[in-house]
Amino acid sequence: MRSLSQKVQKVVAAAVAWTVLLTALWSGSIPAAADETEICEQPAGYQRRTLFFQQAGDRIWLAFSESDSAQAYCLDATGRVTRQESLPYPILSARAVGEDLYLQELTDTFTIHQLGGGTRTVSGWSTDRVTLWDISAAGTVYGVLSNQSTTLATDPAGSAARNYGSRITFLQAEVLGQPVVAAGGQLYLGGKSISGSEPMGRIAADGTCLTVDLEVCRLSDSGLSTLYTPEGEPSYFCLDDAGRFYAASGSTVTCTDPQGKSLGSVTLSAAPVALCPAGALLLQNGHFRFAAFGETFIPKLEPTPSPTPTPTPDPSISPSPGPSFPPEPDFPGGPSGEYFLVPAGTTVSDLRQMMWPQAVQITDARGNPLTWGTLATGMFMDDWPLVVPGDCNGSGSVTRADVRTGLDWVLEQFPVDDVFTRAADLNDDGALSAQDLVLLAKAATPGS
């Protein structure tokens, strides 16, 4: 196969960065697809009500009970298991604090185990009476007992139990250095009454939380202040330590910054059963899987363009008139291995303008010269096979037929070894996968 001339290569290089072709084609319109990693098989005695999934710093904790035992896993941000322990007792709940995981054993007396550490039994607390509990980084256990539902007790009892006068419905240990409590519709920071509605779920390290009014707020010494109201009612949500809000609706996860600005969305292969800032927990076909978000929601810094100096013309020199060259087109396409990629809708004229001043011959799959019309996968530019990303059948457009074709190829594990399978490999990783199907479905013309 012949190489492009050096002059043509410079024109092509100036038009586009080859390594980001698909990003240029689909930028801003396609949700990313999360990378998924299998964690473990769902045990026969798995109990959904005991499932615990929480991120603390760089560690992600997964724990759940079986019939008479439990399993605990520590994952990194990619979903790789870095630690796994089988526990000889069932658990009722768990809490992640700093780098430690605390597990409440399902037994008569309130007992918590520090994974890999000691065991602690709180005298006078029975498991069936503890309705809420949490533990601080310093090791203080806070609890609410059913027979004293208005009182916040501690162990060790460093201070007298505090009575809030109404049933306590929310508890989180030591946010801003003190426990946060909701009781009787009132919010408290330690013993001080503050403004705001009851939080729904954990409060982030920076004080950001989602309230029962479905408002994202930030906690301060004076109370909660509303940042924004997210759209919809998510089935699962979480906040990271920077106050970013993650929400799952169906199989789509969106992320919003503390100012309410969307940071994008990611598509999962199934609806999650739990969510954390680094990814989502899936339960598919009897297996737990982790779908990592990677850098999907990390804000991209826009480069500041450098000013272009304006040259001062030399009045003593009168340039000779020369040929008028057309401007270089903004053409998101180019060589990719042995193929030449062109976006859907590109015409013969577009490609010739892009390659100008190099004269090229464009032919159909049978070698017949083309002078007009829309390009399709399987055509040629000189000796370069043309690939239209998403056009898996050579029609020149991306339709539902291409999605069905791509699905068949993924199920049959077709290799990427010709122009048509290359057209289906939209994430350009050399293999056909569910991520490619997501991109195909989004690229297909509506109603096609």
Per-residue pLDDT tens over the stretch 314-342: 554 444 443 333 333 333 578 888 899 99
Average pLDDT over residues 140-167: 85
Task: State the pLDDT at residue 61.
Answer: 93
Average pLDDT over residues 408-421: 89
Instruction: Report, as an integer, the average pLDDT of 389-401.
Output: 89
381 versus 17: the higher-pLDDT residue is: 381
**Could you write out the DSSP letters of every residue in 234-284?**
-SEEEE-TT--EEEEETTEEEEE-TTS-EEEEEE-SS--SEEETTEEEEEE
Task: Give the pair of three-digit tokens for residue 51.
Answer: 């499932």
pLDDT, residue 366, reads 84
Please report the pLDDT score of residue 137 as a whole number.
86
Q: What is the pLDDT of residue 159?
A: 60
Q: State yes or no: pLDDT of 231 exceeds 90.
A: no
Residue 443 sits at φ, ψ, to 5 deg, of -80, -20
Statement: residue 261 has pLDDT above 80: yes
Listed by start position, the domains of the chain span 6-29+330-443, 204-295
Distance, CA of 33 to chain centre:
8
Please state, in angstroms and rounded to a whole number, the distance separating the CA atoms of residues 218 and 225: 5
User: In this predicted model, what pLDDT tens digit does every residue of 189-226 receive, in sequence order?
Assistant: 988 999 999 998 888 888 888 888 888 899 999 999 99
pLDDT for res 308: 57
Q: What are phi and psi of 12, to 5 degrees?
A: -65, -40
> What is the rounded CA–CA span in Å between residue 120 and residue 108?
13
Question: Which range (63-77, 118-132, 269-283) has the least confidence?
Answer: 118-132
The pLDDT assigned to 182 comes to: 93
CATH architecture of 6-29+330-443: Orthogonal Bundle (1.10)
| Residue that wins the pLDDT comparison between 116 and 398 | 398
Confidence band of 389 (pLDDT split at 50, 70, 90): very high
Mean pLDDT computed over every residue of the chain: 81
Instruction: State the Cα–Cα distance between residues 37 and 269, nearest whole angstrom.
Output: 12
